[in-house]
């Protein structure tokens, strides 16, 4: 069945009203949209301009320059050449000038034109670090034994080696010590064709040599006097940074000849807890203590003690507050805050 004339007229009237309403709604919506050149567009443009700056600044590795209108920083390598990328944002401060971005020293390109205000403020934190300090003494006598009685001769040969354990008595605030030179009495035993290795070895808790040689010097028998003992001196440069509680062994190890040399010591009545003389008859496979005996020797070196700690202050960037306005409308100001994830170090 078809529509009557009346029904058709009513339908056309209703459709016309609906079309008029839809057209009015579209006109109102269009007028509500911000004009690309209108005042409502300014804050949107400002927010869009700050978005890449915020995205890059939060990953800053170092800050090269910062002020109220300029920030230059580096981010991690993006090109694969192993070199950080350098990014610089800058506004001249002149109203109407553009905010620019410069990448790796290239041409500065505008990010936003007609800028009326751009400022950066920085949230920094000061971190204090205590750096230990130390004081090294002048050369001093660390350990020694001397005597004018009960002398004994101690020959160095392939089946007879001697080692003198010593531990210096150090100040309570000592942090380390080192050996600079050693002195002892030695003489020649004919024929004068022997050599002795004068070693400084680490010691066991039982005051025996470990076989770990920190440094050694060579004593040639041909340089010694026959029959008469003469004072010998060996210099050491590598025996350093020793813990205060550690002792060492001064080891006289045969290298060549029949009797490589003879050493002077005291063969009884020695009673010093920080000294111990030992002997090996199996080429240092084992060592036996010689109670009450000691070589005559002197060990010199320096002692390092704790000093007054130095306080070092560093300054780190935690966040940056950015304020931007484009155009004349004061209400168009955009402000945001970006946290720098790496907390780069900055100057005060």
Say what the pLDDT of residue 43 is: 74
| Residues 74, 51: Cα–Cα separation, whole Å | 17
Closest of 64, 62, 130, 88 to residue 345, by C-alpha: 62
pLDDT tier for residue 224 given thresholds of 50, 70 and 90 = very high
Confidence at 332, pLDDT banded by 50, 70, 90? confident
14 confidence band (pLDDT: 50, 70, 90):
low
Residue 28 pLDDT exceeds 90: no
**What is the per-residue pLDDT for 324?**
96
pLDDT number for residue 1: 53
**DSSP codes joined into one string, 248-308:** EEEEEEEEESSEEEEEEEE-S----TTEEEEEESSTTSS-EE-TT-EE-EEEEEEEEEE-P
In this prediction the pTM is 0.62
Over the stretch 158-193, which tens digit does the pLDDT of each residue have?
999 999 999 999 999 999 999 999 999 999 998 899
Assess whether pLDDT exceeds 70 at residue 139. Answer: yes
User: 137 in helix, strand or coil?
Assistant: coil
Question: Alpha-carbon torsion 178, 184, 187, 189, what sign?
Answer: negative
**pLDDT tens-digit map of 262-296:** 999 999 999 999 999 999 999 999 999 999 999 99
User: What confidence score (pLDDT) does residue 62 get?
Assistant: 98
pLDDT tens sequence across 49-80: 899 999 999 999 999 999 999 999 999 999 99
Q: What is the pLDDT of residue 138?
A: 98
Q: What is the dihedral of CA 76, 78, 79, 80, to 10 degrees?
A: 60
Q: Does domain 134-306 have CATH number 2.60.120?
A: yes
pLDDT at site 36? 47
pLDDT average, residue stretch 302-315? 94
What residues does each domain of the chain span? 41-127+312-346, 134-306
């Amino acid at each position: 069945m078809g529509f009557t004339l009346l029904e058709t007229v009513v339908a056309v009237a209703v459709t016309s009203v609906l079309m008029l309403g839809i057209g009015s709604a579209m006109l109102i919506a269009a007028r509500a949209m911000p004009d690309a050149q209108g005042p409502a567009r300014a804050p949107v443009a400002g927010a869009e301009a700050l978005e890449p700056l915020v995205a890059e600044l939060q990953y800053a590795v170092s800050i090269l320059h910062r002020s109220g209108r300029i920030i230059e920083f580096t981010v991690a390598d993006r090109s694969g050449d192993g070199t950080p990328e350098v990014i610089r944002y800058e506004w001249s401060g002149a109203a109407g000038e553009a905010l620019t971005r410069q990448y790796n020293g290239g041409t500065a390109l505008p990010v936003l034109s007609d800028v009326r205000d751009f400022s950066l403020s920085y949230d920094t934190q000061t971190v204090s670090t205590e750096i230990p300090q130390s004081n090294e003494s002048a050369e001093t006598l660390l350990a020694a034994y001397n005597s004018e009685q009960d002398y004994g001769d101690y020959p160095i040969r392939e089946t007879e080696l001697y080692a003198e354990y010593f531990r210096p008595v150090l100040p309570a605030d000592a942090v380390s010590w080192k050996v600079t030179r050693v002195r002892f009495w030695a003489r020649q035993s004919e024929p004068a064709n022997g050599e002795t290795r004068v070693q400084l070895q680490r010691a066991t808790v039982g005051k025996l040599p470990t076989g770990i040689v920190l440094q050694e010097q060579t004593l040639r028998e041909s340089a010694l006097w026959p029959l008469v003992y003469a004072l010998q001196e060996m210099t050491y440069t590598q025996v350093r940074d020793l813990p205060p509680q550690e002792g060492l062994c001064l080891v006289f190890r045969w290298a060549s000849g029949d009797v490589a040399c003879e050493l002077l010591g005291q063969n009884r009545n020695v009673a010093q807890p920080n000294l111990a003389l030992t002997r090996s008859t199996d080429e240092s496979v084992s060592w036996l203590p010689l109670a009450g005996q000691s070589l005559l020797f002197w060990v010199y070196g320096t002692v390092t003690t704790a000093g007054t700690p130095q306080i070092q202050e560093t300054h780190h960037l935690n966040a940056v507050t950015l304020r931007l306005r484009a155009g004349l409308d004061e209400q168009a100001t955009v402000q945001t805050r970006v946290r720098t994830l790496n907390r780069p170090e900055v100057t005060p």
